[in-house]
């Protein structure tokens, strides 16, 4: 899981190798674009009048370009030509070592790095690269010695502390690893990689909360950090926070759609949530990307068995038993499952779930957590997954869960949902994230909002009125639930251009039209709590109550209000605005 962006560094450093003395295209030869560099360097190599030193630099630069293209054989040939022309060329030895390392030839790589260091003892790249090669051989003490030398030359380089931290971690010296990662973070407080790497050590030590805190920071600093989402997903599932795990693995899958592992992870989370059909979808995607993925086959077999699909479960378990080595415990597990399935009677297809008398029901669930201009808001992502799963379990046939929407993304989601709502009997929107009230109007805040001035509100937020318009076409029930009554972190930074304009706490009161309910996590003018259990008190209560059979919707929210008041020591009171016709609206029919 290490990241060693050394080739990029090498390319950036290439410009200082030669001092051109002829009218040749040295800028092109040093270009980061491989095709340009190769063509220009080739011209220099073939031209008359260039010194051996200059041609050595051209060979080395062309080698870097070939390396960048993944053509390590040609790169090695060019580095060798460079060294023949300039035998003490430390950078060329280092570059050739890198190419050997990429090919898996660690003996030649280490030999070249050692030559580079012999000619230029303070060549940080060679020390770092040799440290990595030693690490690959399990020679942790030698790697640590190289990183320590590099730190002596560049004590302000955060990356080297991160590298040494990993070497200490691999050696089992967890406390020393944490100390190095912490030093790297002190040198560079926005060093997302160091936060992620420190989280791995905290998790290995069983300090799960510290690991999660570091992963939250890594993701806040680097919202496209695939590895951090994968690690947070794993920890969340292990802790029983399956909705958060499903969200994190889903983000990892978005970032690397061709990677089978996040689909497998999310499938496991769905399985633990008893969403077996969705688990099968993800395990199938993982197997599509990696057909010999034995553990995905095993887990899909379990999901098929839970769905009563005996033949498909047997097929997957037999595949898993073939692929998993005999000494692996999961091979024995697969054989046990096969025996159980073969002995079980044919499954009787389950009766279809009762179709609610209220007809077609659709829901849009939005969780905005990763705000770019203010701090991370951790709960909405988890709350959205929790509520989305509860709505599905309550029989809502079409539930769309989306996360971290910018302004354009929120408008696009509302526009697409409006088309569904126009054809539905029930249309529901749940929003968790930041919201605000200004001049008596309510606004939901996308993750890309900056809100430097009160004038920005209309342009950078989405009004509650716009959200209400997305559901107005529903035939019988329109419901908006806003878990957005938190403290507004933008208020303190916004420049107010009008003395008459006011921003108050929480959200302001609304008066929706008939057959419409708007539910606030905290009544107008007050703020909601995030709680300390991973989900907000309101989301927990809402998800719990909507799946209870036979409870009419007005009573659902009376129960939610009671639960939240109890959970927060009477400090937070949800509130329902609007009214419904005399019909009963029930999420789950009575058994």
For the segment 422-450, the average pLDDT, to the nearest whole number, is 89
- Asked if residue 102 has pLDDT above 60, the reply is yes
Categorize the per-residue pLDDT at 501 as very low, low, confident or very high, splitting at 50, 70 and 90: low
Q: Which CATH number fits domain 242-343: 3.40.1380.10, 1.25.40.10, 1.10.10.10, 3.50.50.60?
A: 1.25.40.10
Angle formed by the axes of helices 294-306 and 260-272, to 10°? 30
Strand (E) or helix (H) holding 555: helix 553-567
pTM above 0.75, yes or no: no
Contact 402, 453 (CB under 8 A): no
For the segment 533-551, the average pLDDT, to the nearest whole number, is 84
Q: Which residues of 110-139 are buried (b: 16+ CB within 10 A; e: fewer)?
A: bbbbebbbebbeebbbbbbbbbbbbbeeeb
Cβ count within 10 A of residue 540: 21
- Asked if residue 523 has pLDDT above 60, the reply is yes
Strand (E) or helix (H) holding 493: none
For the segment 531-545, the average pLDDT, to the nearest whole number, is 78
Helices (H) and strands (E) in the chain, counts: 26, 10
Q: Which of 53-62, 233-242, 260-269 has the lowest mean pLDDT?
A: 233-242
> Quick one: fold of 361-579?
Rossmann fold (3.40.50)
In whole angstroms, how large is the CA radius of gyration of the chain? 30
Residue extents of the structural domains in the chain: 6-231, 242-343, 361-579
Give the ranges where 273-309 is alpha helix by DSSP (H): 276-289, 294-306
6-231 and 361-579, same CATH topology: no
Taking CA atoms, 581 is separated from 472, 490, 518, in Å, by 15, 39, 15
What pLDDT score does 118 carry?
Answer: 95
DSSP secondary structure, 243-260, as one string: HHHHHHHHHHHHH-TT-H
Categorize the per-residue pLDDT at 16 as very low, low, confident or very high, splitting at 50, 70 and 90: very low
Cβ count within 10 A of residue 548: 15
What pLDDT score does 503 carry?
Answer: 60
What pLDDT score does 59 carry?
Answer: 95
For the segment 170-183, the average pLDDT, to the nearest whole number, is 93
pLDDT in tens, 117-162: 999 999 999 999 999 999 888 899 999 999 999 999 999 999 999 9
Categorize the per-residue pLDDT at 393 as very low, low, confident or very high, splitting at 50, 70 and 90: confident
State how beta strands 426-432 and 361-367 pair: parallel
Give dist(CA 182, CA 198) in Å, integer: 8
- Asked if residue 10 has pLDDT above 50, the reply is no
What are the structure tokens assigned to 510, written together?
A: 């609304």
Give dist(CA 388, CA 395) in Å, integer: 11
Q: Check: CATH 1.25.40.10 for 6-231?
A: yes
What pLDDT score does 242 carry?
Answer: 82
Contact 286, 305 (CB under 8 A): no
- Asked if residue 15 has pLDDT above 70, the reply is no
């Amino acid at each position: 899981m290490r990241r060693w962006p050394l080739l990029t560094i090498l390319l950036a450093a290439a410009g200082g190798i030669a001092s051109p003395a002829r009218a040749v295209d040295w800028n092109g030869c040093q270009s980061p674009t491989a095709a340009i560099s190769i063509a220009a360097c080739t011209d220099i190599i073939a031209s008359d009048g260039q010194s051996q030193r200059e041609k050595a630099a051209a060979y080395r630069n062309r080698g870097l370009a070939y390396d960048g293209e993944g053509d390590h054989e040609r790169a090695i040939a060019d580095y060798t030509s460079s060294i023949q022309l300039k035998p003490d060329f430390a950078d060329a030895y280092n570059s050739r070592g890198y190419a050997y390392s990429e090919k898996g030839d660690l003996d030649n790589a280490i030999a070249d790095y050692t030559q580079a260091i012999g000619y230029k003892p303070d060549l940080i790249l060679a020390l770092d690269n040799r440290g990595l090669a030693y690490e690959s051989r399990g020679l942790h003490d030698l790697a640590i010695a190289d990183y320590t030398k590099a730190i002596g030359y560049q004590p302000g380089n955060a990356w080297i502390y991160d590298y040494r931290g990993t070497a200490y971690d691999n050696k089992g010296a967890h406390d020393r690893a944490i100390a190095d990662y912490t030093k790297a973070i002190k040198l560079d407080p926005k060093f997302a990689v160091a936060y992620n790497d420190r989280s791995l050590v905290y998790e290995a030590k069983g300090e799960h909360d510290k690991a999660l805190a570091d992963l939250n920071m890594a993701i806040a600093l680097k919202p496209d950090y695939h590895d951090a989402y994968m690690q947070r997903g794993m920890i969340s599932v292990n802790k029983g926070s399956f909705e958060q795990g499903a969200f994190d693995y889903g983000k990892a899958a978005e970032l690397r759609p061709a990677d089978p592992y996040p689909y497998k992870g999310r499938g496991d989370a769905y399985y633990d949530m008893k969403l077996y059909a969705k688990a099968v979808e993800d395990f199938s995607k993982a197997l599509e990307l990696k057909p010999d993925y034995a553990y995905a086959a095993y887990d899909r077999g379990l999901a098929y068995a839970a769905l009563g699909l005996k033949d498909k479960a047997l097929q997957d378990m037999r595949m898993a038993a073939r692929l998993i080595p005999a000494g692996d415990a999961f091979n024995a597990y697969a054989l046990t499952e096969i025996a159980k399935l073969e002995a079980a009677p044919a499954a009787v297809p389950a009766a279809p779930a009762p179709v609610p008398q209220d007809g077609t029901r659709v829901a849009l669930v939005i969780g905005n957590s990763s705000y770019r201009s203010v701090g991370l808001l951790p709960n909405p992502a988890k709350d959205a997954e929790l509520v989305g799963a509860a709505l599905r379990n309550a029989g809502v046939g079409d539930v769309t869960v989306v996360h971290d929407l910018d302004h354009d993304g929120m408008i696009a989601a509302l526009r697409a949902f409006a088309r569904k709502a126009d054809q539905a009997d029930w249309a529901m929107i749940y929003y968790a994230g930041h919201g605000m009230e200004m001049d008596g109007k309510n606004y939901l805040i996308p993750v890309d909002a900056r809100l430097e001035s009160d004038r920005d509100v209309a342009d950078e937020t989405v009004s509650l009125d716009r959200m209400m318009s997305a559901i107005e076409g529903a035939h019988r029930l329109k419901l908006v639930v806003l878990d957005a009554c938190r403290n507004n972190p933008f208020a303190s930074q916004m420049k107010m251009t009008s003395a008459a304009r006011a921003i108050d706490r929480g959200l302001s009161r609304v008066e929706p039209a008939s057959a419409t309910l708007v539910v606030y996590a905290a009544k107008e003018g007050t703020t909601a709590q995030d709680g300390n259990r991973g989900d907000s008190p309101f989301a927990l209560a809402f998800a719990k109550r909507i799946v209870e059979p036979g409870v009419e919707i007005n009573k659902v929210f009376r129960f939610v209000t009671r639960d939240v008041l109890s959970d927060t020591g009477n400090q937070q009171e949800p509130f329902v605005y609007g009214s419904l016709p005399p019909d009963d609206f029930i999420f789950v029919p009575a058994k």
